[in-house]
């Protein structure tokens, strides 16, 4: 984040507020507690070190934090095993390669192999498949699902693709202009979206399930997303909302619990 | 037969050099390696239709689009535009009637020009009435947006500028290369609907290049699927989507994330290198139905029950 960014509030991980930690204490949480997979896989690895070096470094950190003594043979084994788990046919050769010699899908799998070694409690994935092709994306998504099942890792999957969110997640949080608009179980949010923004978003998605009985016209949300420099008053979605009321323009609604859903909208009592 | 198809290619080819060959390389006998981006592609696009061209990155779909608007010159095969064979001296005539919209409008439009300058550029002179009309057709306001530069507009608006620029000369045929893939989810439907309205209004023909299967379904009348520089299947959009015939198309459909279906079943392996494509059928290393002949001989794109398919499963060996 830029140096002048201002963060307040709390980020609680396992009962510890990460924002109160010093940079040095924070180091201990990176990788083994929180791990992030970035959108562009080419910038997430060191271009001048081999894949093997980088995976073994991860293995060393895992061992040190787990209170084990570092053994190079053991680290090599762990790296090979992780690459095998990610379906690399010849892991020994991949270990000797540099990032630029691999394809986007392969690098994204290397990053996932790294997370397999580090065994984080939380895996944050920021559009990890948007640079990948459809078939490779499907391969990587299947790996993510398998990893979360096998390692019991929580995944925060950031995406703008609702169909993809449906496939990978169990719970959906919808953000608009920096605020949570809706939060609930994936099936129920997709089937019965409550917030007008979620409704518009889902109506506008070209998803194959909509075209089962022929073509339907996609509905689009009018207008553009707001600029953060000049956010609208009241509810941030009101200029684009079809159900806008007077109160929406003046006062921002609070997150309210409705049944098993959390919504920020005056339609549901604000 | 009525009108000839507006676009027709016969065995169109485009090869690129994979790396530069210097004098020393030549002296040491290094052989040039070619990237076969488009390899013997034969397609037809009828006037007034939208052909969706689906393919993964590196399948040659953008190169094919550029060949059709004469931004690239083919290395082999023939290209017929409105029934006329396109030769060197016909290129200016073709260019009068075609346009292209690129994926990233921020990099395809000149950042130092104003919106009205960008839109009027293809005319060669500034014509306020025409610019105003084109801007209104794409939902932009001449007074509000005309003097702005691309960076002052949002992604959806800049793509509208690119579309206005493409239609200002009233072309017959437009190649749209992933025009919505860089856009925000809420804007994608807006731009797709705009493109469909413009097509009706101006009687356009589109080649819509995309890797998004659902978008292709929404906008196309017919689709063609490319794999490693070749068209492997083509046909009516509903038929191809309901009953894909080529094993690659089948697995591609099973890879598309869709609401209501939690499981994805993609093909194993990756798209092959175009420098050294596999012998025989290019999909055979990933194909679940591979037969001995697939490894040896390349299947031709043939017509089976109103569908074009290049697969040994559907032809005599």
* Structure confidence by residue, pLDDT tens digits, B289-310: 999 999 999 999 999 888 999 9
User: What is the least distance, in Å, from the CA of A35 to any CA of chain B?
Assistant: 25
B188:A221 CB<8 A: no
Contact indicator for B10, B77 with CB cutoff of 8 Å: yes
Residue B310: what pLDDT?
95
B190:A220 CB<8 A: yes
Residue A66: what pLDDT?
86
Residue B195: what pLDDT?
96
Percent of chain A with pLDDT over 70: 100
Q: Residue A134 is nearest to which of B184, B252, B259, comparing CB atoms? A: B252
Residue A270: what pLDDT?
65
Per-residue pLDDT averaged across B27-38, rounded?
Answer: 82
Residue B202 has pLDDT above 90, yes or no: yes
Q: Number of Cβ pairs closer than 8 Å across A and B?
A: 129
* Range with top average pLDDT, A87-91, A224-228, B66-70: B66-70
Does B128 contact chain A (CB < 8 Å)?
Answer: no
- pLDDT classification of B18: cutoffs 50, 70, 90: confident
For chain B, what is the largest distance between any 2 Cα atoms, rounded to a whole number of angstroms? 65
| C-alpha to C-alpha distance for A88 and B177, rounded to whole angstroms | 33
Does B241 contact chain A (CB < 8 Å)?
Answer: yes
How far, in whole angstroms, is CA A43 from its chain's centroid?
A: 17
Query: Comparing C-alpha atoms, which of A80, A88, A81 is closest to residue A108?
Result: A88
Per-residue pLDDT averaged across B78-107, rounded?
Answer: 93
Per-residue pLDDT averaged across A145-159, rounded?
Answer: 88
Per-residue pLDDT averaged across A112-127, rounded?
Answer: 90
Does B193 contact chain A (CB < 8 Å)?
Answer: yes
Residue B6: what pLDDT?
94
End-to-end CA distance of chain A: 32
| C-alpha to C-alpha distance for B194 and B182, rounded to whole angstroms | 16
Q: Which of residues 36-75 of B touch A (CB under 8 A)?
A: 56-57
**Cβ contacts (< 8 Å) between B211 and chain A: which residues?**
133-134
Per-residue pLDDT averaged across A232-244, rounded?
Answer: 95
Residue B303: what pLDDT?
92
Out of A13-22, A39-48, B140-149, least confident range: A39-48
**Cβ contacts (< 8 Å) between B256 and chain A: which residues?**
134, 138, 163, 208
Residue A9: what pLDDT?
93
A49-71 pLDDT tens trace:
999 999 999 999 999 988 889 99
Query: Comparing C-alpha atoms, which of B235, B199, B242 is closest to residue B309?
Result: B235
**Cβ contacts (< 8 Å) between A225 and chain B: which residues?**
154, 184, 186
**Cβ contacts (< 8 Å) between A220 and chain B: which residues?**
186-190, 193
User: What is the least distance, in Å, from the CA of B308 to any CA of chain A?
Assistant: 22
Residue B120: what pLDDT?
95
Q: Give the burial class of A90: count Cβ atoms within 10 A of its Cβ; 0-12 exposed, 13-18 middle, 19 or more buried.
A: exposed
Residue B1: what pLDDT?
52
**Cβ contacts (< 8 Å) between B156 and chain A: which residues?**
224
Residue B317: what pLDDT?
64
**Cβ contacts (< 8 Å) between A211 and chain B: which residues?**
214, 217-218, 241
Per-residue pLDDT averaged across A191-219, rounded?
Answer: 88
Query: Comparing C-alpha atoms, which of B224, B93, B100 is closest to residue B173?
Result: B100
Residue A179 has pLDDT above 80, yes or no: yes
End-to-end CA distance of chain B: 32
Residue B275: what pLDDT?
80
A225:B184 CB<8 A: yes
Contact indicator for A193, A187 with CB cutoff of 8 Å: no
B161-192 pLDDT tens trace:
999 999 999 999 999 999 988 787 778 889 99
**Under DSSP, is residue B54 helix (H, G, I), strand (E, B) or coil?**
strand
Contact indicator for B156, B188 with CB cutoff of 8 Å: no
B213:A208 CB<8 A: yes
**Cβ contacts (< 8 Å) between B241 and chain A: which residues?**
208, 211
| C-alpha to C-alpha distance for A148 and B279, rounded to whole angstroms | 39
């Amino acid at each position: 984040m830029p140096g002048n960014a201002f963060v307040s509030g709390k980020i609680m991980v396992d009962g510890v507020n990460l924002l109160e930690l010093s940079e040095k204490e924070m180091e201990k949480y990176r990788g083994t507690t929180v791990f992030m997979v970035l959108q562009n896989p080419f910038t997430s690895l060191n271009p001048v070190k081999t894949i093997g070096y980088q995976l073994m470094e991860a293995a060393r950190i895992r061992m040190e934090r787990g209170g084990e003594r570092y053994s190079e043979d053991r680290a090599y084994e762990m790296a090979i095993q992780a690459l095998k788990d990610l379906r690399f046919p010849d892991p020994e050769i991949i270990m000797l390669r540099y990032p630029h010699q691999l394809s986007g899908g392969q690098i994204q799998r290397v990053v996932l192999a790294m997370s397999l070694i580090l065994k984080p409690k939380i895996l944050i994935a920021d559009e990890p498949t948007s640079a990948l092709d459809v078939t490779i994306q499907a391969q990587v998504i299947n790996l993510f699902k398998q990893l979360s099942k096998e390692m019991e890792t929580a995944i925060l999957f950031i995406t703008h693709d609702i169909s993809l969110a449906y496939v990978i997640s169990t719970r959906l949080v919808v953000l608009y202009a920096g605020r949570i608009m809706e939060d609930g179980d994936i099936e129920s949010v997709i089937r019965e979206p409550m917030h007008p923004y979620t409704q518009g978003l889902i109506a506008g998605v070209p998803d194959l399930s909509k075209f089962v009985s022929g073509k339907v016209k996609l509905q689009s949300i009018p207008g553009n997303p707001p600029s953060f420099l000049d956010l609208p008053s009241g509810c941030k979605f009101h200029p684009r909302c079809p159900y806008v009321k007077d109160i929406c323009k003046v006062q921002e609604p609070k997150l309210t619990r409705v049944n098993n859903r959390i919504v920020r909208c005056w339609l549901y009592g604000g | 037969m009525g009108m000839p198809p507006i676009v027709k290619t016969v065995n169109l080819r485009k090869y690129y050099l994979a790396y530069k060959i210097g004098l020393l390389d030549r002296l040491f006998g290094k052989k040039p390696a070619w990237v076969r981006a488009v390899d013997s592609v034969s397609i037809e696009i009828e006037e007034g239709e939208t052909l969706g061209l689906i393919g993964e990155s590196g399948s040659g779909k953008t190169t094919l689009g550029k060949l059709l608007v004469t931004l690239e010159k083919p290395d082999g095969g023939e290209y017929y535009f409105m029934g006329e064979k396109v030769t060197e001296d016909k290129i200016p005539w073709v260019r009068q009637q075609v346009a292209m919209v690129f994926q990233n409008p921020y990099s395809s439009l000149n950042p130092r020009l104003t919106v009205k300058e960008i839109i009027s550029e293809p005319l060669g002179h500034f014509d306020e009435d025409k610019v105003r009309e084109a801007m209104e057709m794409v939902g932009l306001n001449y007074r509000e947006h005309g003097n702005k530069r691309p960076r002052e507009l949002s992604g959806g608006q800049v793509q509208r500028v690119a579309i206005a620029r493409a239609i200002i000369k009233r072309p017959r045929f437009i190649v749209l290369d992933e025009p919505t893939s860089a856009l925000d989810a809420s804007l994608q439907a807006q731009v797709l609907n705009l493109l469909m309205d413009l097509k009706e209004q101006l009687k356009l023909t589109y080649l819509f290049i995309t890797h998004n299967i659902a978008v292709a379904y929404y906008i196309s009348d017919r689709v063609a699927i490319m794999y490693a520089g070749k068209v492997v299947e083509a046909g009516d959009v509903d038929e191809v989507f309901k009953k894909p015939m080529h094993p690659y198309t089948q697995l591609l459909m099973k890879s598309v994330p869709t609401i209501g279906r939690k499981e994805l079943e993609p093909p194993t392996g990756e798209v092959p290198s175009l420098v050294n494509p596999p012998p025989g059928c290019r999909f055979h290393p990933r194909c679940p139905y591979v037969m001995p002949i697939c490894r040896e001989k390349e299947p031709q794109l043939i017509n089976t029950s109103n569908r074009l398919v290049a697969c040994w499963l559907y032809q005599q060996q």
